[in-house]
Amino acid sequence: MKIGFIGLGNMGAPMAANLVKAGHEVTGFDTAAITVEGAATAGSAAAAATGQDVVITMLPNGAILRSVAAEVIPAMQAGAVLLDCSTVDVESARAVAEDAMAAGLKALDAPVSGGIGGAQAGTLTFMVGGTEDAFAIARPLFDIMGQKAVHCGPSGNGQAAKICNNMILGVTMIATCEAFALADKLGLDRQAMFDVVSTSSGYSWTMNAYCPAPGVGPQSPADNGYTPGFAAELMLKDLRLSQQAAEAADADTPMGAAAAALYATFVEEEDGKGRDFSAMLPRFETRHRG
Ligand code: NAD
């Protein structure tokens, strides 16, 4: 396929590189002048989008996605697919898809989980919103860049799935970390805590696969000085998106709201910026109840 790829940052560059490796003809564009080996480089987003079968965007947020979409939609050929893999607010995802479809294009929102490691290894999970026919066209690309693509329904539903998942993840990480900190103060050994919880009803991905306690459980960012991994500020971004969506949809999400507030404090007022989101554990370790 002929593919335009806009946004070649930490995630976009390795995803584009995997498409090149698989034999697709990729033209990239990034405002930071990043290039990808084996891909052509365009001078603008519109130029990268012209004449392509699929245009992929991997951008920081919804406002930037909207401005890039306004530029590329008029440049794209009829029937082409605008495939946004960024994590953005549901509203922006739906607005961009509507504009694309009004211009005779197909549109998918397909945010990912799996992080930079998953982008490099081609093992991302895609959560996809949009029509069945657009999903079918993009499927071979999902198979290259990822190991799983779930079609979640119409436009915006990929973003909805992503923020619901990450709201659970943020809340669960906090619960896991505060429980470890409590266990410490009760004199309960961390390995014993892991051995019990990981095989009991408190088990979770954050405990079993991404344990925030160094030296306990499988290898995780905790074993590497809390170098991300999944950065606390990205967790904060996703939690804020979940609260924005909850407000718009009139959903009561008190735990999500508490998690968003706690990660905001951690990232903006404490030392969370640049650390993995599991660094909530050393945060709780140093704190007291009153
Ligand atoms: P990043 O900041 O490394 O990359 C974004 C890129 O977009 C940058 O290179 C920037 O120069 C470029 N850009 C900004 N405005 C542009 C424009 N107008 N035109 C063209 N390029 C432009 O971010 P990232 O880590 O690659 O994340 C990208 C998206 O993926 C975000 O929405 C993020 O939430 C999501 N995501 C990231 C991770 C992760 O672990 N990094 C995991 C899952 C999802």
Spatial contact of 29 and 50, defined as CB atoms under 8 Å apart: no
Count other Cβ atoms within 10 Å, centred on residue 61. Answer: 14
59 lines ligand 1 (CB under 6 A): yes
The predicted pLDDT at position 275 comes to 98
The predicted pLDDT at position 290 comes to 78
197 lines ligand 1 (CB under 6 A): no
The predicted pLDDT at position 78 comes to 97
For the stretch 199-231, pLDDT in tens is 999 999 999 999 999 999 999 999 999 999 899
Spatial contact of 20 and 38, defined as CB atoms under 8 Å apart: yes
**Matching residue, tokens 């995802």:** 93
Which amino acid residue places its CA nearest to atom 34 of ligand 1?
Answer: 87
Which amino acid residue places its CA nearest to atom 29 of ligand 1?
Answer: 86
Which amino acid residue places its CA nearest to atom 20 of ligand 1?
Answer: 30
The predicted pLDDT at position 190 comes to 98
Round to whole Å and give the CA distance between 225 and 214: 8
Q: Could you tell me the two tokens for 106?
A: 């197909």
Q: What is the CA radius of gyration of the chain?
A: 20
Which amino acid residue places its CA nearest to atom 17 of ligand 1?
Answer: 31
List active site positions: 162
Element containing residue 281 per DSSP (H, E): helix 280-285
d(CA 6, ligand 1 centre) in Å? 10
Round to whole Å and give the CA distance between 145 and 87: 16
d(CA 221, ligand 1 centre) in Å? 21
Given a cut of 90, whether residue 192 has pLDDT beyond it is yes
What is the mean predicted confidence (pLDDT) over 91-107? 98
d(CA 9, ligand 1 centre) in Å? 5
Of the CA atoms within 13 Å of residue 110, those in its CB half-sphere come to 32
Count other Cβ atoms within 10 Å, centred on residue 25. Answer: 14
154 lines ligand 1 (CB under 6 A): no
69 lines ligand 1 (CB under 6 A): no
Q: What percent of the chain has pLDDT over 70?
A: 100
Closest to 123 measured CA to CA, from 131, 115, 135: 115
30 lines ligand 1 (CB under 6 A): yes
11 lines ligand 1 (CB under 6 A): yes
For the stretch 18-67, pLDDT in tens is 999 999 999 999 999 999 999 999 999 999 999 999 999 999 999 999 99
Q: How many helices (H) and strands (E) does the chain have?
A: 12, 9
Helices (H), 157-224: 157-185, 190-197, 205-208
| Ligand 1 atom nearest 234 alpha carbon | 34
